[in-house]
């Protein structure tokens, strides 16, 4: 973790300066004030516009940025091999769903998908733009063990991130995602929380410098038997550190999006919480930690069933919030779609319809107008997997 002052100055000196702020080096040591520049991305205006358009009423994000390994697990669940052709066929089904843009404002892609086309030769990025859906890209390189911690992990991907981001922008991406995790049963240790927060902040600054709106995602895993109060305590700690380092890295808050986990009891806790309780705790955490300058809160589903994730989002939108409170679901948008498709071309239309059903349900939940009446049994099945990797 490169948190030394020299690293910070290195970053500052390579950028463009628009303003100056000042601070006293040591309280009482001198009356002279030292000036330091604040950096700003030349994409500032565009970043704010992109974030606003993703956080538009009644819309949210379709997350289909599973790594090839994770996509392989999804395909295996319906008996398909993990080949590029099968991954492409599945992503084509999702991204060419007619009418998707009414409910979906952004789609997070894996690198392979960003450069892929439909079987007719149309780039996936163009399919998205035609539906007014902003293309996004997962830029982290996954989790590895964090030495010196309590069996926790850290997220790789900062090396070369600036040049990769510039290439992704050229290919049409306008936002990025970096997912790191915090585990409650493993502590979390102060080291793991600091590392997660610092990594997210460096990534966010680099993304903005290259025109990509960063989705900031410190996922607090559902694993554990702890009560909801413990999740709240950990979430408050994590988000306070994340915002501390975002500010230290001069990240423009109006040009980011958050992807938090909802505040729930651990998956193995003896009691389940109602959507109203989850909404109350989650909004308490957000109000205490997230400045209103942030345009959008796009929740992950984290192993909740499709219906649970939608009900919880709906409960959070029963009264006005300072931010756009919406979804960026992977599992909770794709589960029924996969089961309906089964890899058969004749099922594509039905699978696309089931994607629209989920997208519309979450759109209504974003507006606080969803009812679970008539939902299928499949959509009520939980998807929690212990120690889940993405």
Q: Would you please indicate which residues are annotated as catalytic (active-site) residues?
A: 217, 259
Return the number of the residue (41 or 310) whose C-beta is nearest ligand 13P.
310
Return the number of the residue (61 or 127) whose C-beta is nearest ligand 13P.
61
Please tell me whether residue 302 binds ligand 13P under the rule CB under 6 A.
Answer: yes
Place of tokens 């922008």: 169
Question: Can you count the helices (H) and strands (E) in the chain?
Answer: 13, 12
Q: How far is CA 357 from the centre of its chain?
A: 22
Q: Is 81 exposed, middle or buried (0-12, 13-18, 19+ CB in 10 A)?
A: exposed
Please tell me whether residue 179 binds ligand 13P under the rule CB under 6 A.
Answer: yes
Please tell me whether residue 330 binds ligand 13P under the rule CB under 6 A.
Answer: yes
Answer for the pair 176, 213: CB distance below 8 angstroms, yes or no. Answer: yes
Helix (H) or strand (E) holding 325: strand 324-329
Footprint of ligand 13P on residues 55-114 (CB under 6 A)? 63, 65, 108
Calpha distance 386→134 (Å, rounded): 32
Minimum distance from CB of 305 to ligand 13P (Å)?
11
Minimum distance from CB of 327 to ligand 13P (Å)?
8
Minimum distance from CB of 66 to ligand 13P (Å)?
8
Question: What is the total residue count of the chain?
Answer: 390
Three-class SS of residue 109? strand
Footprint of ligand 13P on residues 361-390 (CB under 6 A)? 390
Answer for which of 158, 279, 332, 338 binds ligand 13P (CB under 6 A) is: 332
Return the number of the residue (221 or 228) whose C-beta is nearest ligand 13P.
221
Phi/psi region, residue 24 (left: phi>0; alpha: psi -120 to 50; beta: rest), is: beta
Interaction pattern, residues 206-235, with ligand 13P; x per rule: CB under 6 A: -----------x------------------
Please tell me whether residue 300 binds ligand 13P under the rule CB under 6 A.
Answer: yes
Please tell me whether residue 301 binds ligand 13P under the rule CB under 6 A.
Answer: yes
Calpha distance 25→293 (Å, rounded): 28
Please tell me whether residue 198 binds ligand 13P under the rule CB under 6 A.
Answer: no
Strand ranges (E), 24-133:
34-39, 60-64, 104-109
Return the number of the residue (39 or 59) whose C-beta is nearest ligand 13P.
59
Please tell me whether residue 329 binds ligand 13P under the rule CB under 6 A.
Answer: yes
Task: Considering only the stretches 40-48, 248-256, 294-302, 343-351, report the one whose residues sit in contact with ligand 13P under the rule CB under 6 A.
Answer: 294-302
Structure tokens that stand for 390 in this block: 């993405």
Return the number of the residue (39 or 177) whose C-beta is nearest ligand 13P.
177
Structure tokens that stand for 5 in this block: 């002052």
Calpha distance 380→332 (Å, rounded): 10
Taking only Cα atoms into account, the Rg of the chain, rounded to an integer number of angstroms, comes to: 21
Please tell me whether residue 326 binds ligand 13P under the rule CB under 6 A.
Answer: no
- Return residues touching ligand 13P (CB under 6 A): 63, 65, 108, 177, 179, 217, 300-302, 329-332, 390
């Amino acid at each position: 973790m490169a948190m030394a002052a020299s690293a910070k100055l290195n970053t500052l000196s390579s950028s463009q300066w628009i303003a100056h702020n000042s601070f006293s080096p040591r309280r009482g040591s001198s009356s002279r004030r030292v000036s330091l520049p604040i950096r700003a991305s030349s994409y500032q205006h565009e970043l704010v516009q992109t974030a606003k358009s993703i956080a538009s009423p009644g819309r949210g994000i379709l997350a289909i940025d599973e790594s090839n390994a994770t996509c392989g697990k999804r395909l295996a669940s319906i008996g398909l091999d993990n080949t590029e052709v099968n991954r492409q066929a599945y992503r084509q089904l999702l991204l060419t769903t007619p009418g998707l843009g009414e409910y979906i404002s952004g789609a997070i892609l894996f690198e392979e998908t960003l450069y892929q086309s439909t079987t007719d030769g149309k780039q996936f990025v163009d399919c998205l733009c035609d539906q007014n859906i902003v293309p996004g890209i997962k830029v982290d390189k996954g989790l590895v063990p964090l030495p010196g911690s309590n069996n926790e992990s850290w997220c790789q991907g900062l090396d070369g991130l600036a040049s990769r981001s510039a290439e992704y922008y050229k290919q049409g991406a306008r936002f990025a995602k970096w997912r790191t995790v915090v585990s409650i049963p493993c502590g979390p240790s102060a080291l793991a929380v600091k590392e997660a927060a610092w990594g997210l902040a460096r990534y966010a600054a680099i993304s903005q410098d290259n025109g990509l709106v960063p989705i900031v995602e410190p996922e607090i895993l559902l694993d554990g038997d702890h009560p909801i109060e413990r999740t709240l305590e950990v979430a408050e700690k994590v988000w306070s550190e994340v915002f501390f380092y975002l500010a230290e890295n001069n990240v423009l808050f109006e040009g980011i999006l958050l992807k938090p986990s909802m505040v729930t009891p651990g998956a193995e806790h003896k009691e389940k919480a109602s959507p109203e309780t989850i909404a109350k705790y989650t909004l308490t955490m957000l109000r205490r930690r997230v400045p209103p300058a942030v345009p959008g809160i796009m929740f992950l589903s984290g192993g909740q069933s499709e219906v649970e994730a939608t009900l919880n989002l709906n409960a959070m939108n029963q009264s006005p919030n300072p931010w756009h409170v919406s979804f960026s679901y992977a599992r909770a948008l794709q589960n029924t779609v996969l089961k309906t498709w089964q890899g058969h071309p004749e099922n594509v239309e039905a699978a696309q319809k089931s994607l629209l059903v989920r997208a519309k349900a979450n759109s209504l939940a974003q507006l606080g107008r969803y009812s679970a009446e008539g939902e299928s049994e499949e959509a009520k099945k939980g998807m929690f997997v212990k120690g889940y990797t993405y």
